[in-house]
Structure 1
Amino acid sequence: MGQGTPGRVADVFAAARKEGRAVLVGYLPAGYPSVDGAIDALRAMVEAGVDIVELGLPYSDPTIDGPVIQEAVDAALRGGVTTADVLRTVEAVAATGAPTLVMTYWNPIERHGVERFAADLAAAGGAGTITPDLPPEEAGPWLEAAGRHGLDSVFLVAPSSSDARLRRVTGIASGFVYAASLMGVTGVRESVGAAAEGLVNRVRGVTDLPVAVGLGVRDGAQAATVAGFADGVIVGTALVGCLVDAERSGAGREAGIAAVRKLTADLAAGVRAGS
């Protein structure tokens, strides 16, 4: 597909803003329940209303992932998923037209080779990366490579982030800022805390980049609440849970994909109702 196209993520946020709504970002890991099964689930997610895809690159030490995502990632690794499989998944999902970001810890990028990873991701049609464990102070090599290949670099901030930290992170980020709604690992919550809205307001005080909130959203009602104060709503654990529950129960791949489609439709309605 050639070099990445800068601005695809920003264009999605701009279009949603014109529609008076928030953007829906949906996460699933590559390779679960299989490489092709993940591709089918991701396509279903896009068809049902996800605007931007966050594709997880399975890694053996996922420090911010909760038990549901860890279960799926562990299964993908046991199934032998590789970075090449992740890139093939990117290509298949990007072909839907939805900007596709790879959520990856730093070690897999470093092992693949920084320049090579950027080049391969762009060639697959990827829009960029979300790197939860890459400190901004050490991000220079990645930012340079990503810039050469037209890739966005999304970084995380948390309620504990100081104002100075927010300025540092937003000064190097592109696409959007990922605002973690709470401290801790990923997982659905009964409610998305008030700290999330406060964090969004603080981030907006230092940057014009869109701010998307993740960690905790489980259904359309919660998505509507977050869409009332954020530019984007990120959902991961609840969607992964659809696939995990289907595998655990023996219902199978198609049942899991149907559940992903149903939940995504509910979430998509939520971001439209809440903005």
Structure 2
Amino acid sequence: MVRPPAGRGRKRRTGYGGRSVSKTAAAIDAAKAQGRTAFIGYLPGGYPDKQTSIDAAIALVNNGADVIEIGVPYSDPVMDGPVIQQATTEVLARGFRVDEVFEIVKAVTEATDAAVLVMTYYNIIDRMGAATFARRLAEAGGAGAITPDLIPDEAADWIAATEEYGLDRVFLSAPTSSPERAAMIASASRGFVYGVSLMGVTGARAEVSQAAAEVVAAAKSAGAERVCVGLGVSTRAHVEEIGSYADGAIVGTALVAALRDGGPEAVATLAAELSGKNLNPRND
């Protein structure tokens, strides 16, 4: 077993551009300081085209998102439900290039102050090379990456690359994670731990799984400083419920459906509703 670098009691090397502080953690902490749950929004990179995906991500930030996830389209998205699968299939069909993701991240980070993560299956990072992918993501202004199919004990190359370039790395903790596994995930993660609220694929659901609170509690007990919950989150009520026990709520499918049906304007409307900005406008 490869042990990841300890998250506590260890001096972190300064990464790309002198970055030693997690941009994602800072965004989540800023939301907490304002007395609210951090809102994390996911959109597929390049959907329905590159410029529209950039416009939609900027609309997300302008309407309350604290952290943005840009998904890297992939041919075998085992975690994604039908709405996201359809969107990424369309992107791949038009000849998507991984380079586009870095271009999208760069455009969003230049236009906003949000922490921008990429969400990608690890095969894409591995094919490019962990160090090269990390360097290019850092150069684009990205905060880090979520790797849903990578476990910490197989992540030595990625952990080393993210340390070198000062990037966040987000691992997933599930209802089935043992206490020992949860501790490893908490130690290896930087930024936050992604709490999977249920076993299955992404998709909007009527209720947040009752297991979500237990996943958060287990991750916190294992040493995670920040835990954000995703899968099945689609309404303001879900965000408020999650905020009672977690640091952030992650919304994907509902935003992708809004983009599909109404473009960036619909994303802006839904984001304002999810974040509560249309109820309590912020002056930031």
TM tier relative to shorter chain: over 0.9
Moved more, 179-188 or 110-119: 110-119
Alignment of 1:20-59 (within 5 A): 20-59=35-74
Percent sequence identity is 46
Aligned to 1:145: 161
Question: Contact (CA 8 Å) 1:4, 1:125: kept in 2 or not?
Answer: no
Cα 1:225–1:133, aligned 2, differ >3 Å: closer, same or farther?
same
Aligned to 2:276: 269
Partner Cα separation in structure 1 for residue 100 and residue 264 of structure 2 = 19
**Match of residue 91, structure 1, among 106, 117, 138:** 106
Partner Cα separation in structure 1 for residue 36 and residue 253 of structure 2 = 22
Residues 129-187 of structure 1 show CA distances to partners (whole Å, capped at 9, x for unaligned) of: 00000121110100001110010100001111111110111111110000010000000
Q: Where in structure 1 are there 5+ consecutive unaligned residues?
A: 247-254
**1:196 counterpart letter in structure 2:** A
Q: Where in structure 2 are there 5+ consecutive unaligned residues?
A: 1-15
* Cα displacement (A) at 1:208: 4.1
**Match of residue 117, structure 1, among 119, 133, 143:** 133
**1:29 counterpart letter in structure 2:** P
**Match of residue 11, structure 1, among 26, 41, 52:** 26
| 1:192 match: secondary structure | coil
Aligned to 2:245: 229
Residues 67-101 of structure 1 show CA distances to partners (whole Å, capped at 9, x for unaligned) of: 00000000111111211101000001112110100
**2:231 counterpart letter in structure 1:** L
Alignment of 1:173-252 (within 5 A): 173-244=189-260, 246=261
* Cα displacement (A) at 1:123: 0.2
Partner Cα separation in structure 1 for residue 46 and residue 28 of structure 2 = 28
**1:198 counterpart letter in structure 2:** E
Residues 30-82 of structure 1 show CA distances to partners (whole Å, capped at 9, x for unaligned) of: 11000111001111111111000011011101110000000000011111121
User: TM-score w.r.t. structure 2 length?
Assistant: 0.89
Aligned to 1:129: 145
**1:145 counterpart letter in structure 2:** A
Question: Contact (CA 8 Å) 2:37, 2:239: kept in 1 or not?
Answer: no
Partner Cα separation in structure 2 for residue 178 and residue 154 of structure 1 = 6
* Cα displacement (A) at 1:4: 7.4
Question: Contact (CA 8 Å) 2:50, 2:100: kept in 1 or not?
Answer: yes
| 2:150 match: secondary structure | coil
CA root-mean-square deviation: 1.6
| 1:21 match: secondary structure | coil
Which 4+ runs in 1 deviate beyond 2 A?
Answer: 2-6
Partner Cα separation in structure 1 for residue 37 and residue 18 of structure 2 = 24
* Cα displacement (A) at 1:269: 0.7
Paired residues, what number?
263
Partner Cα separation in structure 2 for residue 74 and residue 102 of structure 1 = 18
Partner Cα separation in structure 1 for residue 63 and residue 205 of structure 2 = 23
**Match of residue 90, structure 2, among 75, 79, 86:** 75
| 1:28 match: secondary structure | strand
Question: Contact (CA 8 Å) 2:31, 2:66: kept in 1 or not?
Answer: no
**2:264 counterpart letter in structure 1:** I
* Cα displacement (A) at 1:256: 1.8
**1:126 counterpart letter in structure 2:** G
* Cα displacement (A) at 1:3: 3.5
| 1:50 match: secondary structure | coil
Aligned to 1:60: 75
Partner Cα separation in structure 1 for residue 45 and residue 215 of structure 2 = 30
| 2:276 match: secondary structure | helix
Partner Cα separation in structure 1 for residue 258 and residue 224 of structure 2 = 35
Partner Cα separation in structure 1 for residue 263 and residue 240 of structure 2 = 24
Cα 1:201–1:174, aligned 2, differ >3 Å: closer, same or farther?
same
| 1:132 match: secondary structure | coil
| 1:200 match: secondary structure | helix
Partner Cα separation in structure 2 for residue 202 and residue 135 of structure 1 = 17
* Cα displacement (A) at 1:228: 1.5
